[in-house]
Amino acid sequence: MIEDHNDILDSRIKLHDRHRFEIKLDIDLDAGSKSSYEVETYFFVPRALNVGPHNYKKENFYNSSQRYIRFRTPKMSLGKICDPALKTSPLNRVREDLSKVLAGAGEAALVDGICDELRLLGCIIRGEIRDYVKVFVEGLATYDEAVPAAQRKLFVGEGLDNFLGDLKRLEAALGSLKAEISDPAVPLKIRETAGFFDEYVSLILEEYLTSLVEALRADHPGRPRFENVEKEVLAIVTAQSRYRQAMKYPSVLVPGSSNETIIYRRGVLKKFISGVLYLKAEFSEWETLTQVFFGLAAGAAMLFAVMVTVYFQARYAMNSMPFVLAVVISYIFKDRIKDWLKLLFSKNLTRWISDRKIDIFDTSGGGARLGLLKEAFTFLSERDVPPDIARLRRIDNITSVDEEGKPERVFKYKKEIILYPEVIIKSHERRRDLNDIMRFNIRELVGQADDSAVDYPYVDAASGEVRVAACARVYHVNLLLKYTYFDRAGQLTIHYDRIRIVLNKDGIVRLEEVKVG
């Protein structure tokens, strides 16, 4: 994963799977009536992949992209979640509202609120356990580096002890909550949500703590020190599968089987729990102004065809061969003129208008409109690539003729997001900052790529024999990202990232960061 931290906009680019990479922006909202930022992504694609305006349209790009706007998971330590004095703890809010339900209050809004708090609690628990385990795994991996022994033991040793203590308190609190929710007077929706939450937390504990067990068992100088910790973590991990089996949850691993159920179930649970953070996006497929210009293109082409028809009709009979040929030729040119004008408009109008607009709505609190997203896609000729982008693309060229050996086509994706922080802060106490996520699938880019391996004959220097080596054939797609936003001081800020995507016919091989300054 490649990360970059700025003032209010943090970017992370990582490999999602074999065919998709993900660009994730963390946005810190400042109080104000409006907040906006702009991201321009330039794709430099080798011409050898035969991707161009003739076979890769706007629809291809948008169909290859997935985009999500969601609230960032609130930060709340495991210890604080169980603190009865913390009013913002989802655990405490569930208990408080549950007591109202058991006292006879049965409003639908109250029931929905409890379900949302349970889902938010699941998101917070997952985020905290994931982050804790990541810190400990990294700490254990560097345990033998040049760090004073006292600091190593304090950081990793006491940290692990505290983490385990918090985990045990959390398990006890969740067990008590589960007993309260099992009361038959609790509405079915709450009990079913609690069941999903319970199964999800068990899977989270098993998944992340298994990584911790692996790190604790690795060969490092501190292993004897952590034998007891390893046993305690192992006991928690092994208890999870038995617990889910006893509860008759579907997510049980069966050695020797395909185990498709546990992976499918984990995906369902994750989407259900994390759905409380996602915002609703309503697409407006094409903006009205774009359609007006495309209509003008069609009208201009039709005008040409009508004028040709009128001209030849005045000179030849309608059933004559010259007139028929003129009509056919005008029809052919009409379509070409329309397509050419549409391409011209789409290339130049993206500077001022977008292909489509996406309104962003809250999924709770009345569905308030929180902002909007505008998108535009177009191919660029070499002369249309902005000078700052062209300079950064050439920054790692070894010689002045490098570009001639790697000809490329360039397409640009521009995204502008406008947010209304006042509306968000008014509706939410804990969910404020946002994640803007885009996943891009490279399958269509490698559709005409050569095989991923090629035989290369060579002469063995020692034996003189001719041998054949299997060599990997890869392509380099370069991404340049330009972020434009106002920092906390109100100054216009521009930041760049450059990523090299090494791929072959089978998918993405790796991501490489290229320093731009």
User: What is the per-residue pLDDT across 351-394, written as a single tens digit (0 to 9) for each?
Assistant: 556 777 888 888 776 678 888 888 889 899 888 899 999 999 88
Instruction: Determine contact, residues 99/110, Cβ cutoff 8 Å.
Output: no
Cα gap 312→296, rounded to integer Å: 24
Cα gap 108→240, rounded to integer Å: 33
> Which residues, other chains included, contact 15 with Cβ-Cβ below 8 Å and sequence gap of 6+?
1, 21, 22, 508, 510, 511
CA dihedral of residues 392, 393, 395, 397 (deg, nearest 10): -170
Instruction: Determine contact, residues 152/143, Cβ cutoff 8 Å.
Output: yes
Rg over alpha carbons for the chain, rounded to the nearest Å, is 29
Return the closest-CA partner of residue 246 out of 209, 183, 199. Answer: 199
Q: How many domains does the chain have?
A: 3
- What local confidence, expressed as pLDDT, does residue 3 receive? 58
- What local confidence, expressed as pLDDT, does residue 265 receive? 93
Q: Which of 136-145, 214-223, 388-397, 499-508 has the lowest mean pLDDT?
A: 136-145
pLDDT higher at 501 or 395: 501
Return the closest-CA partner of residue 212 out of 268, 267, 249, 167. Answer: 167
- What local confidence, expressed as pLDDT, does residue 27 receive? 80
133 and 188 in a single domain? The answer is yes
Amino acid found at 296: L
For residue 387, being part of any structural domain is answered with yes
What domain range includes position 217?
A: 78-275
Domain final residue, candidates 253, 275, 297: 275
328 confidence band (pLDDT: 50, 70, 90):
confident
154 confidence band (pLDDT: 50, 70, 90):
very low
For residue 467, being part of any structural domain is answered with yes
For residue 23, being part of any structural domain is answered with no
The mean per-residue pLDDT over the stretch 413-421 comes to 86
> Where do we find the tokens 């006890």?
172
120 and 243 in a single domain? The answer is yes
For residue 103, being part of any structural domain is answered with yes
Q: Is the pLDDT of residue 488 over 90?
A: no
Please report the sign of the dihedral spanned by the C-alpha atoms of residue 58, residue 60, residue 64, residue 69: positive
- What local confidence, expressed as pLDDT, does residue 325 receive? 77
Domain final residue, candidates 301, 322, 349: 349
- What local confidence, expressed as pLDDT, does residue 246 receive? 94
340 and 378 in a single domain? The answer is no
237 and 381 in a single domain? The answer is no
pLDDT per residue as tens digits for the range 165-221: 999 999 999 999 999 999 898 999 999 999 999 999 999 999 999 999 998 888 766
- What local confidence, expressed as pLDDT, does residue 420 receive? 82
> Where do we find the tokens 């489509």?
356
119 confidence band (pLDDT: 50, 70, 90):
very high
- What local confidence, expressed as pLDDT, does residue 381 receive? 87
Q: Which of 43-47, 218-222, 244-248 has the lowest mean pLDDT?
A: 218-222
* Partners of 503 in beta bridges: 475, 508
Q: What average pLDDT is seen over the chain?
A: 82
CB < 8 Å & 24+ apart, contacts of 58-61:
58/346, 58/355, 58/377, 60/444, 61/377, 61/411, 61/413
The mean per-residue pLDDT over the stretch 418-447 comes to 83
Q: How far is CA 407 from the centre of its chain?
A: 29
Q: How far is CA 169 from the centre of its chain?
A: 33
Indicate left, alpha or beta for 158 from its phi (over 0: left) and psi (-120 to 50: alpha).
alpha
Q: Is the pLDDT of residue 340 over 70?
A: no
Q: Which of 49-63, 356-370, 471-485 has the lowest mean pLDDT?
A: 356-370
Q: Is the pLDDT of residue 32 over 70?
A: no
Return the closest-CA partner of residue 514 out of 474, 477, 473, 475. Answer: 477
For residue 84, being part of any structural domain is answered with yes
406 and 300 in a single domain? The answer is no
For residue 427, being part of any structural domain is answered with yes
Cα gap 517→495, rounded to integer Å: 10
| Residue 403, both tokens | 């570009």
Q: What phi and psi, each to the nearest 5 degrees, are found at residue 33?
A: -80, -30
51 and 135 in a single domain? The answer is no
pTM of the model: 0.77
| Residue 163, both tokens | 């983490």
Instruction: Determine contact, residues 170/78, Cβ cutoff 8 Å.
Output: yes
Q: Is the pLDDT of residue 339 over 80?
A: no
- What local confidence, expressed as pLDDT, does residue 422 receive? 79
142 and 58 in a single domain? The answer is no
pLDDT higher at 269 or 436: 269
Q: What phi and psi, each to the nearest 5 degrees, are found at residue 400?
A: -70, -15
CA dihedral of residues 128, 129, 131, 133 (deg, nearest 10): 160
429 and 473 in a single domain? The answer is yes
- What local confidence, expressed as pLDDT, does residue 465 receive? 92
- What local confidence, expressed as pLDDT, does residue 91 receive? 93
> Which residues, other chains included, contact 128 with Cβ-Cβ below 8 Å and sequence gap of 6+?
75, 76, 77, 78, 81
CA dihedral of residues 169, 170, 173, 176 (deg, nearest 10): -110
- What local confidence, expressed as pLDDT, does residue 417 receive? 86
142 and 187 in a single domain? The answer is yes
| Residue 462, both tokens | 């020692």
Half-sphere exposure of 456 (CA within 13 A, CB side): 9
Helix (H, G, I), strand (E, B) or coil at 36: strand
For residue 25, being part of any structural domain is answered with no
Burial degree of 418 (CB within 10 A; 0-12, 13-18, 19+): middle
69 confidence band (pLDDT: 50, 70, 90):
confident
Domain final residue, candidates 243, 275, 307: 275
| Residue 345, both tokens | 């408009």
For residue 383, being part of any structural domain is answered with yes
Q: Is the pLDDT of residue 20 over 50?
A: yes
234 and 92 in a single domain? The answer is yes
Q: Is the pLDDT of residue 331 over 60?
A: yes
The mean per-residue pLDDT over the stretch 118-134 comes to 93
- What local confidence, expressed as pLDDT, does residue 146 receive? 47
Cα gap 24→39, rounded to integer Å: 12
50 and 162 in a single domain? The answer is no
pLDDT higher at 444 or 26: 444
Strand order in the sheet with 492-504: 280-284, 356-361, 369-380, 408-419, 35-46, 475-486, 492-504, 507-513
**What percent of the chain is predicted at pLDDT more than 70?**
81
482 confidence band (pLDDT: 50, 70, 90):
very high
Instruction: Determine contact, residues 373/281, Cβ cutoff 8 Å.
Output: yes
Cα gap 397→393, rounded to integer Å: 8
271 and 131 in a single domain? The answer is yes
